A = this chain, B = another copy of it.
């Protein structure tokens, strides 16, 4: 049997503590699978005295994770601190510079600095693994980076934020408002006290930017993502979606278009009969469409100490099964220096179906006016309906729902502006993009 693999773990929160316990409890089984034992020989966290449910005997303690990366007698540096800057970034860089393999769950760090870190890892001939950074326990990084080698990806999309999916599922199932469901998510620990990062779509955007690079071989462009959160989704939208045969999900979508790569995160109507529409609660799902394989969909836990620890463990096991210096897997699917510049397709040129919900005054000619404005912008309608669940009384505001065939975003915007100019609109129109999985 080969020498033990010595690892140092920086960050002993839920995931880190879970990882250490698993490595200790399954030491023998892991040795059988990996061909050598995996030993945690160094740890770093803020509070040395806290009881984390495992025995620290034999582990060297570091108050400073950078010092651990620079000096500990380890083969692998595992970064579970989080944060795009500061200690996490400095420690990962120090570890790579020293020629250590690195495993991280840090999506923010990769979204910001992934290309440079990948180049550094490749220069040093070490592995930088990050399965846990996107969609938790779902092995989507491995699928894109290894299984799909040689495929040309056309679209990758998914439900990558459990908080948002929990809220949207609960709104639909229980008929509650966004605010009520957010509160429940906070009570259950699915949402942070400050939920903005999740519900505004930033978390999904970080993850999407990594998938985009793996899928299309372009440099990471986390700041070039069109972003809409779910705070604007009302129970009326959810009901109207269901009536029309759709369900609303917060998707991150990246696709190749003629003008460049489209990266967008927004509430999306997906057909009720599609597999991804059935993905409920905090569960995540990622779909990859490619030319040789076809469509691959993976569904699983996107967060949680254990699921995340499982992904980190898989990354560590991959290193344990390799020999130092022997592995050539490029960090981002292809060598960092060969990644192409990111060419952004603007959201205005996005093509797809649209759901549009308008509240209008009850006037003669409103229906005709809306239909005309759509036609003027060459938007073809799949359906135009009055919301059937609403008790319609003469003189009261009416709800009109339009579903368009595939059209351009700028046409939709122009049509909406024209409708706004007519004066019969009450409040803001709701516009939700439709995304069609290949199976629906």
Q: Does A293 contact B (CB under 8 A)?
A: yes
CA–CA, A139 to B149, complex, Å? 12
Q: Which of A22-30, A51-59, A258-266, A351-359 touches B?
A: A22-30
Task: Using CB atoms, name the residue of chain B closest to A299.
Answer: B297
CA–CA, A329 to B313, complex, Å? 15
CA–CA, A35 to B310, complex, Å? 29
CA–CA, A147 to B301, complex, Å? 14
Known contacts being A142-B146, A150-B33, is A294 close to B326, with CB within 8 Å?
no
CA–CA, A131 to B146, complex, Å? 12
CA–CA, A293 to B18, complex, Å? 12
Q: Are A292 and B313 in contact (CB under 8 A)?
A: yes
Kindly list chain B residues whose C-beta atoms are within 8 Å of the C-beta of A279: 275
Kindly list chain B residues whose C-beta atoms are within 8 Å of the C-beta of A139: 139, 142-143, 146-147, 296
CA–CA, A283 to B438, complex, Å? 12
Q: Give how many A residues have a beta carbon under 8 Å from the other chain's beta carbons.
A: 64
Q: Does A322 contact B (CB under 8 A)?
A: yes
CA–CA, A147 to B338, complex, Å? 27
Known contacts being A151-B310, A327-B326, is A334 close to B33, with CB within 8 Å?
yes
CA–CA, A310 to B29, complex, Å? 31
Known contacts being A283-B439, A321-B327, A328-B35, is A292 close to B22, with CB within 8 Å?
yes
Task: Using CB atoms, name the residue of chain B closest to A272.
Answer: B278
Q: Does A298 contact B (CB under 8 A)?
A: yes
Q: Are B292 and A150 in contact (CB under 8 A)?
A: no
Least Cβ distance of A269 to chain B in Å?
Answer: 17
Q: Does A179 contact B (CB under 8 A)?
A: no
The contact of A292 among B297, B309, B439, by CB within 8 Å, is: B309
Q: Does A208 contact B (CB under 8 A)?
A: no
Interface positions, chain A 105-121, Cβ under 8 Å from B, are none
The contact of A322 among B2, B148, B328, B333, by CB within 8 Å, is: B328
Known contacts being A293-B300, A300-B294, A307-B294, is A32 close to B335, with CB within 8 Å?
yes
Q: Are A292 and B307 in contact (CB under 8 A)?
A: yes
Q: Are B292 and A330 in contact (CB under 8 A)?
A: no
CA–CA, A331 to B149, complex, Å? 20
Q: Are A323 and B326 in contact (CB under 8 A)?
A: yes
CA–CA, A338 to B31, complex, Å? 12
Kindly list chain B residues whose C-beta atoms are within 8 Å of the C-beta of A146: 139, 142, 314, 317-318, 321
9 A-B pairs closest in CB distance: A326-B326, A149-B317, A293-B310, A139-B147, A35-B328, A296-B300, A292-B310, A297-B299, A137-B293
Q: Apart from A137-B296, A294-B304, A296-B299, what are 6 other A-B pairs with CB-CB below 8 Å?
A: A34-B328, A137-B294, A142-B147, A297-B299, A322-B328, A323-B323
